[in-house]
Chain A
Amino acid sequence: MVDERASDDPLARARELSLAGLLGALGLLLPIGFHALGWGGRIFLPMHLPILVAGFVVGPALAASLGLIVPLLSAALTGMPPLAPPIALLMSVELAAKAAVASLLYRRLGLSLWVALPAALLANWIVLALAAVAAAGFFAIRTPPLRYLAAVMALTWPGVLLQVVAAPAAVAVIERRVPRLAARGRRGGP
């Protein structure tokens, strides 16, 4: 029961924050569910899906914050992903980049989801490769970034496929239940 024409800033910000919170909660719950079902959390990347969806429904700053926070919060609550080795930190930066790029292209610039989605995935991989090299440097390990990236992509392609299939559907469901999200790009919106 919302009115997409109501443009009160605090109201819009509050709704955005609330939606981000719920998607972040899914980012915590989905991995638990996947692990409980034994469905290969590391392969299907369950945490990535809600954060990517958040990138399509909230503004860039909030989306990036969500990407940064959720892996760290999950690490603090459940121990997964681990903080040491710094897998949680790597996930933080890659998810932040993915969500921010998705939001910038889809919400701010109003581009098609089928442009924003691959761009977000590309941003994810680039940032992940750079972050991995930096983290490896902390442990005095020399890692060729492309080789690392190739290994990650080979392992996690089911998760990428899940995002490509499920994220657009999830965005459609959310936009149907929250009509104000239809306004984006030049038409306004978060």
Chain B
Amino acid sequence: MAVSPAPVLRVERLSYTYAGGAEALRDITFSVAPGERVALLGPNGAGKSTLLWCLVGVLRGSGTVAVNGAVLAPGSEAEVRRRLGLGFAEPEDQLFMPTVERDIAFGPRAAGAPPEEAARRAAEAARTVGLAGPLLSRAPHELSSGERRRAALAAILALDPDVLALDEPTNSLDAPGRAALAETLSRLPCAQLLATHDLEFVGRLCARALVLVGGRLVADEPLASLLGDEARLVAYGLAAPREG
């Protein structure tokens, strides 16, 4: 009998309440297997971004978050953050160094890698996401929005995370950009958690879907069965009702 591999991301009873008292997440429990790609779906305000911020400890929720065995707790945030790379909805917020190359190399350098090793990892990450060489010496603000998104992704991949969590990865990407991103993500060996409204995008990549509505996990099932059930898509706020 085959033994399921230990999950690379384990979330148990995660809850989070904003300072003003509004409940953002309640009792979220799920896990992600190594190499698995999972879509995190939900309407605006469902708590997808809040969940991602909780996974990396920027927001402190109650419950358990463990990434490849490292449990999120005071003092262990750095290790969890190295293993779970988070891509923001606005890639501009993640590019803060004078050049793209130095931005991508920032993570390895901060982890103590010597400059040559950091440069090698940065170059490899840039190749992975299809960032051309001349772009690496440019300042981030000189890049197009698609290039910035790729640079931000490369900056995360340079740390070789076990889990890649992306918040609205197709924001401001045109159709060729979305196709290129899907192709890049499909080649990555790490587990992925993709928070998005773009059902077509995740339909190409993910086999499984988690659905958040009002801060609660209302579905954890194969994505194909969800996409085939229009009534539920409308009920969950993932699709607009047909007119007439």
**In the complex they form, do A and B come into direct contact, defined as C-beta atoms under 8 angstroms apart?**
yes
Q: Report Cα–Cα, A11/B60, bound state, in Å.
A: 13
A10 to B75, CA, bound (A): 11
Q: Which residue of A lies closest to B53 (CB)?
A: A1
B92, chain A: closest CB distance, angstroms: 13
Partner of B60 from the list A5, A10, A18, A179 (CB cut-off 8 Å) is A5
**B-side interface size class:** 10 to 19
Query: Contacts A1-B49, A18-B96: A6 and B57 contacting too (C-beta < 8 A)?
Result: yes
A contacts, CB < 8 Å to B: 1-8, 10-11, 18, 179
CB-nearest residue of chain A relative to B96?
A: A18
B58 at interface by CB-CB < 8 Å:
yes
- B residues with a Cβ closer than 8 A to A are 19, 49-50, 53, 57-60, 74, 77-78, 96
**A18–B92 Cα gap in the complex (Å)?**
13
A4 near B57 (CB under 8 angstroms)?
no
B19: which of A10, A18, A179 is its contact (CB, 8 Å)?
A179
Count of A-B residue pairs with CB < 8 Å: 26
Closest chain B residue to A179, Cβ basis: B19
How many angstroms between the C-alpha atoms of A8 and B72 in the bound complex? 12
B53, B58, B96 — most chain A CB neighbours (10 Å): B58
CB distance from A99 to the nearest CB of B (A): 22
Q: Do residues A2 and B60 form an inter-chain contact, with CB atoms below 8 A?
A: no
Q: Which residue of A lies closest to B56 (CB)?
A: A11
**Closest residue on chain A to residue B49 by CB atoms:** A1
Bound-state CA distance A116–B8 (Å) is 50
Q: Are A8 and B96 in contact (CB under 8 A)?
A: no
Identify the closest chain A residue to B75 (Cβ): A8
Residue numbers in A under 8 Å from B60 (CB-CB): 3, 5-6
| A2-B58 contact given A18-B96, A179-B19, CB 8 Å threshold | yes
